[in-house]
Amino acid sequence: MTSATTSPSTPPDPRGRAPLPRLERVGTATRLVVDGEPFVIRGGELGNSSAERSHLAGHWPRLAELGLNTVVAPASWDVVEPAEGRFDWTSVDELVEDARAHGMRLVLLWFGSWKNSMSSYVPGWVKTDVARFPRARDSRGRALEILTPFSAANRDADGRAFAALLAHLREVDEHHVVVLVQVENEIGMIPEARDRTPEADAAFAGPVPTELLAYLADHRDTLAPELAARWTAAGGRSQGTWTDVFGAGPATDELFMAWAFARYVGAVTAAGKAELDLPMYTNAALVRPGTQPGQYPSAGPLPHLIDVWRAGAPALDFIAPDIYFPNFAEWADRYVRGGNPLFVPEALRSVDAAANALYAYGRHAAIGFSPFGIETIEDHAATMLAASYDVVRQLTPLLAEHAGQGTTTGLLPPAEDQRVPHRVPLVDVVLAATYERIAAPSLADGVINEVGDRATDTTRLPAGAIVIRTGPDELVVGGIGVTLTFDPVEAGTETVGILSCEEGRYDDDGGWQHRRWLNGDQTHQGRHVRLEPGRFTIQRVRLYRYR
């Protein structure tokens, strides 16, 4: 993978069009730049069979109401190349045209050789010619519904089709509606950890490629801990077979397959980039707790394999997680290892998506966030996501300004039942956060947030926030269901109080529109800053210190 440090001076399109979308490094963060401006993806991924014009036509207004600025949608190999060498771009053209007509950008998903491990989106002429386009095999020799990555014919056919897609976009997408491209989808080996074709067996018995060994040696101090531990335990060798270098077992089988998948995907990616150099990534289905390689889609672009993917697929700009598990923050944190930018192309379509998005943007300057099956989101989850995306839209200029500077963070409950304040440092102050997942009764007669058994609505609500340090002892806080107090980094040196707190919103030009001061009951007479449950708000806070 590249280091995502494309120069801001990327040349314009030779036809005089605006520069291509690109990634640029700012401090410790990577941001997407579109039409010369930082662009934060407020996304939603369509269901796999929902991207055709005849089906999607009635959904565009709803997607706009949700606050999306980007739709994540597939382009399928079987649809665009129904016969070898004969391309039908109708589905792609209609998607680009309709997205632009509704003011949306696109992240285009290439459903090529693999989709959710299987090769279900390859054309019929590939599926039926198993001699020319071989399948992976299990340990009993049975063919699987998975193209083997050890076939040059498989790789080259996919690469030609992907290159043709990017060449077509170069011709028709003059407005750069497509801002990112995903190469393949949730690659992985299952139900065993390793392909057992004769070609795969021969490669496994042979030496570990010198390119991978050289990468390990050059990055010894920054390797993913799981890979470093396995390599070290086997003696830290600089040559040998896969079992010599990494030991025997399913974990080594997975490393071997990760290299094979990465090399294949890297070649496909490079073929596309030679036609149109858009930012490209590939995504992963995550590991369920307690499972072993082969019991999940193994060898995909997972955080414990990031170094193998970086070494094997340098044309990719980054790898991305599809996060459907409740420990969202843990997975997001793992995916920013070594400067990998965070983009979440698929996320659980629930009320928690609204808070998870805030964490991704605030904590990790995420390129974007995208619940899956967005066209079917309903009720409370839809209302909460729209309100969350409105907060993100308002804060985007500030997020862009502070990206990579260490002056922003995101807050999520670190445990389901968090009984003590969640302490998060931000520059020279410590945020002590508590979270409310149930609506509190209305404030009256000075009674402050004493829910107890008086709560009548037990609807589960999202809780999370973005916090931006905009100046010395000045903060902007946006979110829902979070109460904050403030402490100095060095305990006992001073007390941090609230000088003022106001609620408002940012207009389309980035100007602050004051709504009301919150210096009484709403801040518990200056004791805390509270984003009440059930309602997304933005507050500007000024602190002061005393002894």
Residues whose CB is less than 8 angstroms from the CB of residue 329 and which lie 6 or more positions away in sequence, other chains included: 359, 363, 410, 412, 414
Strand partners, 529: 484
pLDDT beyond 50 at 9: no
523-527 contacts at long range (C-beta below 8 A, 24 or more positions apart): 523/498, 524/448, 524/449, 526/497, 526/498, 527/485, 527/498
Distance CA 356, CA 412 (A): 7
Calculate mean pLDDT across residues 338-363: 97
Write out the two tokens for 152: 């040059």
% of the chain residues with pLDDT over 90: 88
Q: Tell me what pLDDT residue 519 has.
A: 81
Q: Tell me what pLDDT residue 458 has.
A: 66
Q: What is the dihedral of CA 434, 438, 443, 446, to 10 degrees?
A: -50
Q: Tell me what pLDDT residue 6 has.
A: 43
pLDDT digits (tens, 9 = 90+) for 309-335: 999 999 999 999 999 999 999 999 999
Distance CA 13, CA 340 (A): 27
Cβ 145 vs Cβ 250: under 8 Å: no
Polymer length of the chain:
547
The dihedral sign for the CA sequence 472, 474, 477, 483: positive
DSSP string computed for 127-184: HT-TTTSPEEE-TT--EEEEE-TT-HHHHHHHHHHHHHHHHHHHHH-TT--EEEEEEE
Tracing tokens 């402490």 back to the chain, one arrives at: 487
Q: Tell me what pLDDT residue 196 has.
A: 98
Q: Tell me what pLDDT residue 236 has.
A: 95
Calculate mean pLDDT across residues 267-278: 98
Distance CA 119, CA 186 (A): 11
Q: In one letter, which amino acid is 235? A: G
The confidence band for 442, taking pLDDT boundaries of 50, 70 and 90, is: low
Write out the two tokens for 508: 């389309």
Q: In one letter, which amino acid is 270? A: A
Q: What DSSP character marks residue 189? A: B
Calculate mean pLDDT across residues 157-173: 98
The mean pLDDT value of the chain amounts to: 93
Decide: helix, strand or coil at residue 474.
Answer: strand
Q: Which domains does the chain have, with CATH numbers?
A: 22-406 (3.20.20.80), 410-546 (2.60.220.20)
Write out the two tokens for 63: 């997607």
Distance CA 146, CA 157 (A): 15
Give the CA distances from residue 110 to residues 6, 271, 308, 367, in Å, rounded to whole numbers and listed in that order. Answer: 23, 13, 22, 19
pLDDT beyond 60 at 101: yes
Please state whether the predicted TM-score (pTM) of the whole model is above 0.85. Answer: yes
Q: Tell me what pLDDT residue 446 has.
A: 43
Calculate mean pLDDT across residues 148-172: 98
Min mean pLDDT across 90-99, 130-139, 348-357, 409-418 is at: 409-418
Q: Tell me what pLDDT residue 200 has.
A: 98
**HEC per residue, 52-98:** CHHHHHHHHHHHHHCCCCEEEEEEEHHHHCCECCECCCHHHHHHHHH
Torsion angles phi and psi, residue 59, rounded to 5? -95, -20
